[in-house]
Structures are given as C-alpha cells and as structure tokens.
Amino acid sequence: MVYEIKDRNKYIGSSDAKTIMGDDWQDLWERKTGRKDPDDLSEVFRVQLGVFTEEFHLDWTFRKLQSEQTEPDDWEMSKLNKSQKQHEYVRLTGEKTPLRSHPDALISNYGKTGVESIEMPVEVKHSGAFLNANAACDYYMPQLQHHMFCWGQRHCLFSVILGNNEPERIWVERSDDYVGHYLAKADVFWDYVKSDIEPNYRTGSVMHTSVTDSIRKNGMVRRNISEDNHMTSLVQDLYETAYAAKQHSDTKTIIKKEMKEDEAELYSERVSIKKNKRGAVTIKLMGA
C-alpha cells in the first residue's frame, strides 16, 4: 500500500537514513519535532549542481545501460509516476515507523538481462569528495538500503559523477542484516520523536563489518582476512619478500644495461644473459 505523507516531520526519509545510522540524532530530532526548520539548501552550490545535472545524469546512465544490452528494449526507466510527480513509496516498519522513499527514478526489466528485480530504485549523485565510486556507494549505503526496503526490492542502481568524469554505475543488493539493524535504530529514533523526548541514544549495538562487507556491489563482496591464519601467513611472506623482489628487479635492469650493443650473450658458470634479434634481453640463473 502507498501512503501519502507530505509533511517531512511525519516520516523518516531516505536522506535521513545516514543520520539514523550515525551516532548523533539531536539535529534530526529537533527538525522532526518542529523545533528547528529544515536547512535551506537553495544557496548551497554543490547541492544545486546535483539538482541541475540530475536529469542529464539519469538520461546518460540509462542510455549507456541500454547500449550494453543485446536487447535494449528489456529496460525501462521512469522519473515520474502516473500523476507526473516524483515516485514515492512509504512503508511502515514492524513497529509502525513510517519510512518514505523518494528515489531519483525507477528502472524496470523483465528478467532477460540477468537481474530479476523489477521497478528498482535509482539514485544518482554528483560529488568530488570521494576517491572512487565504491567509496561513494559505501557513504550512501544507508540511503540505498532504505530505498530497497521501502520498495521491497533486492537491487537498486547507484550512479555517481566524480568531478567531471563519466558516471560510474554500481548495482547494489539489499542486505537483510543491514536493513534489520537500520530498522531497529529507526524505531528507537521515532519513539523519541513520538514521545517528544530529547534523544540520549547514541550508537547502541555496533553493526559488525562483516555485514557491510557482505553487501554485493556489482555482484561482488569483500572479505576481512585478519583472522584467517593461512592468509595472514601469506601476507607476512609478501611483506618479507617485497624488498628482495624489488632489489631483484632493479639488479636485472642494471645487468641488462651492462650489455654492449654488439654483445649477444654474457655468461658465466652461474648465469646466462642473452639478447635476441629484437634486442630483448633474457637472464637465466644456472641451476636456479
């Protein structure tokens, strides 16, 4: 069921999700209880730049997505609903906390492209604050998981413009563990709003990194190998041989330079250094 909720003080929006997952709710609580007006972002350049480029960003992303498919008609994207308004869905948690999703667009397919979900939320960003798209995706993960919960979908599409580079796309999968942690925090926060009691809640239970590591981005996950004895041993070997490997490579370069232009081979009982017709030099250690 779709709920029509217009007053931002009456729900938790996707833009609130990162604050909910954070450790300081005071400012958000003051806005939700009417003690503080929403921030005026009309004169914040980076925000308005994102607003201005959003439609172009969506069109570019969709066109590129279509061009990569053998059957481009599999994909459809809509920026507005049937009432010509931005897509909106409000879903209640088990504790009746209203969560509202207002994605930049919805993208649909019919199972021919390997992604089973339909009507997946699309979120686009324009930022120069991140080193790469993966870091940007991690930063906005609360918002993305919020969208997927509200729409009941397993996937969403995230795209980011880093500086003036071409947008980079990441398919993000919903994590039930992540969503469960988020909903629990949202319910606690909303209790403070409903009771009009100033929050003293901070981080509460800390979500284990294995939860965020297991979120699939473009089908791939991360793994912490700190407690893996075999991998820890291999990493130690890597450190111990790093200098020797560099020294070995540097020495080979120096030896190659010692060959005169008219020399085809340098040799001894321990080494054979040969130059082929193309001028490439190979070094073979005898008995190695």
What is the average pLDDT across 222-251? 87
Report helix angle 141-151 to 176-195, nearest 10.
90
> Which tokens is 288 given?
């190695």
Model pLDDT for residues 49-84, shown as the tens digit of each residue: 888 889 999 999 999 988 887 665 677 888 988 889
Q: Tell me the C-alpha to C-alpha distance, in Å, between residue 34 and each of 10, 26, 38, 196.
A: 10, 12, 9, 10
Cα–Cα distance between 143 and 59 in angstroms, integer?
Answer: 21
The residues that bridge with 272 in the sheet, in sequence order, are 267, 284
Query: By C-alpha distance, which of 172, 106, 102 is closest to 137?
Result: 172
- The yes-or-no verdict on residue 234 having pLDDT over 50 is yes
- State the pLDDT at residue 51: 86
Q: How far apart are CA 19 and CA 192, in angstroms?
A: 14
pLDDT over 60 at 259, yes or no: yes
What type of residue sits at position 282? Answer: T
Nearest 5 degrees, angle CA 125-CA 126-CA 131? 100
Q: Is the pLDDT of residue 9 over 90?
A: no
Instruction: Report residue 2's pLDDT band, with 50, 70 and 90 as the boundaries.
Output: very low
Per residue in 143-199, pLDDT (tens digit) is 999 999 999 999 999 999 998 899 999 999 999 999 999 999 999 999 999 999 999
pTM (2 decimals)? 0.80
Asked if pLDDT for residue 119 goes beyond 90, the answer is no
User: Long-range pairs for 74-82 at CB < 8 Å and ≥24 separation?
Assistant: 74/109, 74/110, 74/112, 74/113, 75/107, 75/108, 75/109, 75/113, 76/107, 76/108, 76/109, 77/105, 77/106, 77/107, 77/108, 77/122, 78/105, 78/106, 78/108, 79/55, 79/104, 79/105
- Give the model's pLDDT for residue 202: 60
Sign of CA dihedral 139, 145, 147, 153: positive
* pLDDT for residue 47 is more than 80: yes
User: What's the mean per-residue pLDDT of the chain?
Assistant: 87
Model pLDDT, residue 38: 82
Cβ distance 122 to 143 under 8 Å?
no
Distances from the Cα of 12 to the Cα of 19, 131, 149, 158, 274, angstroms? 10, 29, 13, 21, 71
- 73 compared with 95, residue with greater pLDDT: 95
Domains of the chain: 8-213 (3.90.320.10), 229-285 (no CATH)
